[in-house]
Amino acid sequence: MITKTEIYLPSRSTVRSIALVVSLLVIVTPLSGCLLWGDDEPIEVLPETEEGFGAFSVVAPIDTGINVYHNHFRMNETYPQWLLDGLGVNKICDVTLNGTWQERYEADKEVCWDNITSEDIVWFRGTRIIGTTPDDNTDIPILDDPQDGHGTAVTGAVINANPNAVIFFVEGFSDAAVLAAANQPLVDIITTSFGPIGSIPVPGIEDATKIAVVQNKKIHTGAADNTPSPAVQDPTAGPPWSIGVSGYAEEGDDQKETMSGSYPDVAADWTQVLPNHDDIDGYHETSGTSFATPRTAGLLSKILMSLRHEFGDMSSGADPEIRGGLMVNGTNYSLTNDGLRDALNLSGWYPSFSTWDPLSGTTPISPIAPCTQVGWGVVNESNVLPIIEHLNGTTTMPTRPSDVIICMEANQEIREAYWG
């Protein structure tokens, strides 16, 4: 399974050169010790909240693994017992917090890493990370692969967007990995950044994400490909129940990243500075829809946290049996996944093509049918407050122009016809 990051492109500079050529063509034709605390069944309904914890949101990245030793994921607080029970945690690893990455790993190897199985859900105390690996074919469960790092960067993008997110990390690329999060009642948002190169129309994780969204009422953000291929047929970004995410140059000229999927739902920050997988405090700049997608998930979780705080909802998820399918179930207020998605669509915006830098490797966002390039538009931190105020009734975001609505209704109809 291919992760959707620039690692599959020759280099950033080479991508820019290729992208420049492609953009010109497009313009012409448009992640010391393990503690086991028993075998009791997980508690389904959250009891009273602990003072000081407050409203929260749970995001589930599905990916290669995660560097739990990185400072990016440290926290001073502790997760309350009811939250750990609600998330099915059956082990705690008291990871070593001093020394180099290798020294910490070696100190924890026998008491932690060697004892984790596919049946375990583990909280790494002192971090925001609760992790699991439903598949047994991994060298070190949950911990990011020594030669990869994709999952650490993906999760870092979530935390960049919402530093207070609870992370329920699942290692893997299979339906089983997605279902581990989809069937977890407290998970709000699942984010996936892998799929076939070129968005070729082959089966992927669409059956599992459909269960997550349609049956269990969660949000799924899926990465479009790192080519200009349309996202409609992509098994990660294309299904109509998923929010397909492409890339734009947020720190650059604000235009569409040429080497990212076309006709998605939204576009988000393509290039970010994210945590390393093999040290404790290093960062690197990296690019791809792999990171635009979890950033979008983090922003959505931030919105959920704000609304839950405002309306006194101290739980999470949208389990139909526990929460009636409501992502926010507060005092005289409720919100579904559809309502949150509709607000996201309303908040999208199109940067002016006048900021385009011909040497940037981006494609200028056309004033004609920009939806075919970036869907409902771009999404970043500036979208958060308007969405919150729209959903809490403080203000009302304006209706999108008719041509945008027609274009994106057509997008949804194509996806429904293709995916069912």
Give the Cα separation of 324 and 316 in Å (integer): 12
For residues 325 and 213, what is the distance between their CA atoms, to the nearest angstrom?
10
For the chain, which residues make up each domain, given as ranges? 31-39+53-419
104: Cβ contacts below 8 Å, ≥ 6 apart: 69, 95, 96, 97, 98, 280
Write down the CATH superfamily of domain 31-39+53-419: Peptidase S8/S53 domain (3.40.50.200)
Helix, strand or coil for residue 353? helix
- CA-CA distance, 249 to 291, in Å (whole number)? 12
Q: Which amino acid is at 382?
A: S
Instruction: Report the pLDDT value the prediction gives residue 4, as an integer from 0 to 100.
Output: 62
Residue of 318, 314, 305 whose CA lies nearest to 391: 305
**Alpha carbons 153 and 332: distance in angstroms, whole number:** 38
CB atoms within 10 A of CB 281: 11
Q: Which of 254, 251, 245 is nearest to 288 (CA)?
A: 245
Q: Among positive and negative, which fits the CA dihedral 266, 282, 190, 313?
A: negative
Residue keyed to tokens 């056309």: 366
Strand-pairing partners, residue 192, are 62, 222
CB distance 175 to 207 below 8 Å: yes
- The helix (run of H) or strand (run of E) holding residue 1 is none
Give buried/exposed letters for 118-130 (b at 16+ CB in 10 A, else e). Answer: bebbbbbbbbbbb
Q: Per the confidence metrics, is the pTM higher than 0.75? A: yes
CB 287 within 8 A of CB 14: no
CA-CA distance, 220 to 162, in Å (whole number)?
16
Cα distances from 307 to residues 71, 83, 166, 300, 331, in angstroms, run: 28, 19, 16, 11, 11
| DSSP state, residue 359 | T
Note down pLDDT in tens along the chain; length 420 residues: 556 654 333 333 333 343 433 333 333 333 333 333 434 444 444 444 455 689 999 999 999 999 999 999 999 989 999 999 999 999 999 999 999 999 999 999 999 999 999 999 999 999 999 999 998 778 899 999 778 899 999 999 999 999 999 999 999 999 999 999 999 999 999 999 998 877 777 778 999 999 999 999 999 999 999 988 889 999 999 999 999 999 998 777 678 887 788 999 999 999 999 999 999 999 999 999 999 999 999 999 999 999 999 999 999 999 999 999 999 999 999 999 999 999 999 999 998 887 888 877 788 888 999 999 999 999 999 999 999 999 999 999 999 999 999 999 999 999 999 998
Contacts of 127 (CB under 8 A, 6+ apart): 68, 73, 74, 75, 95
Instruction: Specify whether the CB–CB gap between 43 and 82 falls below 8 A.
Output: yes
Cα–Cα distance between 389 and 383 in angstroms, integer? 10
